[in-house]
Chain A
Amino acid sequence: MAAVTTTEDLRLVGISKEFETFTAVHPMDLTVPGGSFFALLGPSGCGKTTTLRMVAGLEAPTSGSILIGDKDITGSKAYQRNVNTVFQSYALFPHMSVLDNVAFGLKRKGDRNAMAKAVEALDLVQLGPVAKKKPSQLSGGMQQRVALARAVVNRPDVLLLDEPLGALDLKLRRQMQIELKRIQSEVGLTFIHVTHDQEEAMTMADTIAVMNAGRVEQLGDPATLYERPASTFVANFLGQSNLIEASVTGPPSGGVVPARAHGQDVVVSAELLPAGLKDIWIGVRPEKLRLGGGGRNKMAGLVTDASFTGVATQYLVRMPWGFEVMVVQQNDGSARACVGENVTVSWDPGQEFVLDQNQAEDAGVVVDHG
């Protein structure tokens, strides 16, 4: 079933949602390219579900409009929209068999082949054998796949997935991520996947929108978001970051800009420095930092912790001003450092990202969800 449907872009224009006393989503613009795997990523309560519900038609936006292609669907009811949702809680109909659940949408549209298509969709998620069972007789992972089949079978313009993997254990989650990705490329629908798991978003999505407190902080492909975060929130929410305070000390020369960080001279790639910025955060990802003086920017520190993780070793190195940077070194045979050792930490200009210093250093720091 390599049916490549001509999918259209989904556009949110100035969409916002206010509950009585609380603005869940501030006015935002978002374009989701047709046929793409789009992830909405953000911490709990940032408005992801609210955004999805507005797209599905289950919540009326306070302002703005929603368009699929050129068609404005803002005013249409949930049952009139060609948008389907995989709910966070599955929301399978308990009184119907798995097969009837999957055929429900097609039957409402009067599809004559509803049953045959439902069987096919169940096969797609490898649940053919349990078609006659009731949802309550299935495991969580199976119910999740039924919910997915029930939505996919309708071939919607946009498929909304609200943390569909949240309830699964790690192994099943990885398995389902691969399966989701496979189904998406097989049926060629637009997927909007909501998650607060940054790893999940990065491995699955073509484009990620990082949301924070009802706003989109940054939109981009996973690599751009990771390498060039636009805010400290994104830097900290997606992976680990070392943020070093610095101020620019001179004009660019030879592609780099001189700066001073805690009394040490460093250089910053000129093209990464936003114009006119003087007080900056220099952000370096742990795997871009090296132990030893191989890089152009060098800083001395003391190893306070070293943990061996198999493919790599993760160090914490205390800088003279008290901040501990994290360094991840591949176990590629290079010399290891031990706790208590004085080391030099270095990196080359161009490996860093530069942010405005008026942003909070700890924005978006996540407690690990496991």
Chain B
Amino acid sequence: MSWIRRHLLTVAAMATLTILLVPNLVVAIYSFNKPDGRFNYELKRFSLDAWLHPCGTPGICDSLGLSLRIGLTASVVATFLGTMIAFALGRHRFRGRATTNLLIFMPMATPEVVMGSSLLALFLNIGLSTGKLAILIAHIMFCLSFVVVAVKARVASLDPRLEEAAADLGSRPVSTFVRVTLPLVAPGIAAGALLAFSLSFDDYIITNFNASPNSVTFPMYVWGASQRGTPVQINVIGTVMFLVSVAFVLGAQLVAARRAKRA
């Protein structure tokens, strides 16, 4: 009884973790499968085929490359713009500030289907054809909100006295921004950028509205493929993405721990 009481938290945590991790595990296991038909739904034989030929299915690597390119571009642009918006909103009082705040929140509150279809209507009306550029603009648009929210929280918690102290010590405004402001806001910017990338990489609904036949992103590829069959390569790519994310987080924590120890 007392054992349960003492370990209840651990047990609950383990159970939650398991529930969270099992799908990933299943994806990983099935990446070593060699299914009989076109559908990778039943474990048959162990095989490294898919791992050795990750691009072995037509179109899969093209779609992955496109998704990575869009994800990177969208997150870089959204992070840059979003950071500037966050500073403007967090630091300055200007006309239209409340409206801007509201507009920033809109994309997060709007259902994706609505946003995807409205964007399509907008793009058609201004004569922008669907395809990569339309997808990119759409992604930047909805990533922006998340970056602004993440960075604004950091900017708000920044003690203005630190910048005053830097100026007082003879630091010019640009130098103060680079050496004091930016390093302190960096965690928020990094979080915003990562969030933006994963949102962009993941998006299906909005992308689907604005895509053309030559702009098939990875989520669209997977969806399209699942109509006709599921190549094992999907699992390989899924597993790699998962491992890369885990490596990212672990690496960040290691750096933080090392820094804490060294200090």
Contacts and interface: CB of A to CB of B under 8 A. Distances in A.
8 smallest CB-CB distances across A and B, nearest first, come from A105-B169, A91-B165, A78-B167, A91-B161, A108-B170, A134-B263, A108-B171, A79-B167
Contact of B169 (A94, A97, A108, A132): A108
Contacts of A104: 166, 169, 171, 179
Given A58-B164, A84-B168, A85-B168, 19 more contacts: A58-B167, A77-B167, A78-B167, A79-B169, A79-B170, A80-B170, A87-B165, A89-B159, A94-B162, A95-B183, A95-B184, A104-B166, A104-B169, A105-B170, A108-B169, A108-B172, A137-B263, A151-B169, A154-B169
Contacts of A134: 263
Interface in A71-103: 77-80, 83-85, 87, 89, 91-95, 97
B110 interface: no
Interface string A145-161: 00000110010000000
Interface string B172-201: 110110011001100000000000000000
B143 to A, nearest CB: 27
A93 B170 contact: no
Contacts of A151: 169
A288 interface: no
A56 interface: yes
Interface in B29-80: none
A171 interface: no
Interface of B: 159, 161-162, 164-173, 175-176, 179-180, 183-184, 262-263
**Of listed B169, B176, B180, B262, residue having the most chain A CB within 10 A:** B169
B30 to A, nearest CB: 44
Contacts of A58: 164, 167-168
Contacts of B166: 93, 104
Nearest to A82: B170
Contacts of A57: 167-168
20 contacts: A57-B167, A57-B168, A78-B167, A79-B168, A79-B170, A79-B172, A84-B169, A91-B162, A91-B165, A93-B166, A93-B180, A94-B162, A94-B184, A95-B184, A104-B166, A105-B170, A105-B171, A108-B170, A108-B171, A137-B263
A177 to B, nearest CB: 23
Contact of B170 (A95, A132, A133, A154): A154
B165 A109 contact: no
B171 A93 contact: no
Contact of B164 (A91, A109, A150): A91
Contacts of B165: 85, 87, 91-93
A247 to B, nearest CB: 52
Given A95-B184, A104-B169, A105-B170, A78 B164 contact: yes
A2 to B, nearest CB: 25
A29 B8 CA distance: 70
A134 B261 CA distance: 11
A151 B170 CA distance: 11
A173 to B, nearest CB: 22
